[in-house]
Amino acid sequence: MDYRIFLQAAQIAADRARYILTEHRKNKLYEHIYFDTKDDESPVTEIDQYVEREIRQIIETFHPDHNILGEEYGFQLGGSEFTWVIDPIDGTRQFIAGIPIYGTLISLCHHGVPVLGIIEHPAVLERWIGIKGHPSTLNGLPIETRKCTQLELALMSSSNTEPVLPEHRAGYEHIIPKTKWRVYGAACYSYACLATGRIDLSIDSGGMREVDYCALVPVIEGAGGKITDWEGKPLTMHSGKTVVAAGTPELHQQALDVLHQYK
């Protein structure tokens, strides 16, 4: 199947998210953002909820039979083999703090496997698109990962050091000094940068779920990279809380070897 037939709905949804978030930043730049804390201790704002409602409405208009799974409003059964997976604001903490590296993640899964992904970063007007079987793009131009194959030369990112699962803490702490240098806290923007060759390795444990990584899969794979869980298994809607992404299969395997050595 050519999954490009679903791109129009995804693009319109991403356009709507960009408009809402850029207008909010422009009009509320000097205001504090009120937020609630969810049961999992993560923050949520009215804007998170508004963006997701708008995206859901667009998807329902184009594909009323498709299922939808969103960060804020959960699962909506449509009875289809297709499920849209949405994170209206990935990096809500950064959004609340006024740090402009938050993004919107929109993905489409076929039988649970991510086949289309959009990483939309409204503050910098950048949009990554990945579609299974096609080269990934940034703002319409082809992209590719950097061909780093040595762990000691790799530039590594990690979204958040706090939620690393106890069983992964040793491996996580051992791989850090084996890389050249690290950046932290960029959420999905760091994975987008991996797809464009600016970062070589991205590792996260805990604090991750399908809404966080499904959109990343087609983008990174379509740019020549590899992304799995910590066991090396492909990421699907039903994967756990871990992600290992690398610009090359060789670097990915080296990272897995270190992480498994200290389990």
Per residue in 194-208, pLDDT tens?
999 999 999 999 989
Q: pLDDT value at position 36?
A: 85
DSSP 34: P
* Comparison of pLDDT for 190 and 38, the residue scoring more: 190
Structure-block tokens of residue 95: 């959004």
Question: Does the pLDDT at position 41 exceed 80?
Answer: no
| Strands ordered across the beta sheet of 201-205 | 181-184, 155-158, 201-205, 242-246, 226-228
Contact 207, 161 (CB under 8 A): no
Residues 79-84: what's their mean pLDDT? 97
Q: pLDDT value at position 30?
A: 57
Contact 223, 144 (CB under 8 A): yes
* Model confidence band, residue 45 (pLDDT cutoffs 50, 70, 90): confident
Q: pLDDT value at position 42?
A: 82
* Model confidence band, residue 220 (pLDDT cutoffs 50, 70, 90): very high
Structure-block tokens of residue 235: 């990421």
Residues 229-237: what's their mean pLDDT? 98
Question: Does the pLDDT at position 107 exceed 60?
Answer: yes
What is the average pLDDT value for the chain, to the nearest integer? 95
Residues 41-62: what's their mean pLDDT? 93
State the maximum Cα–Cα separation within the chain, in Å, rounded to a whole number: 50
Q: pLDDT value at position 176?
A: 96
Helix (H/G/I), strand (E/B), else coil: 243: strand
Each residue of 152-177: pLDDT tens digit?
Answer: 999 999 999 999 999 999 999 999 99
Q: What is the pTM of this model?
A: 0.95
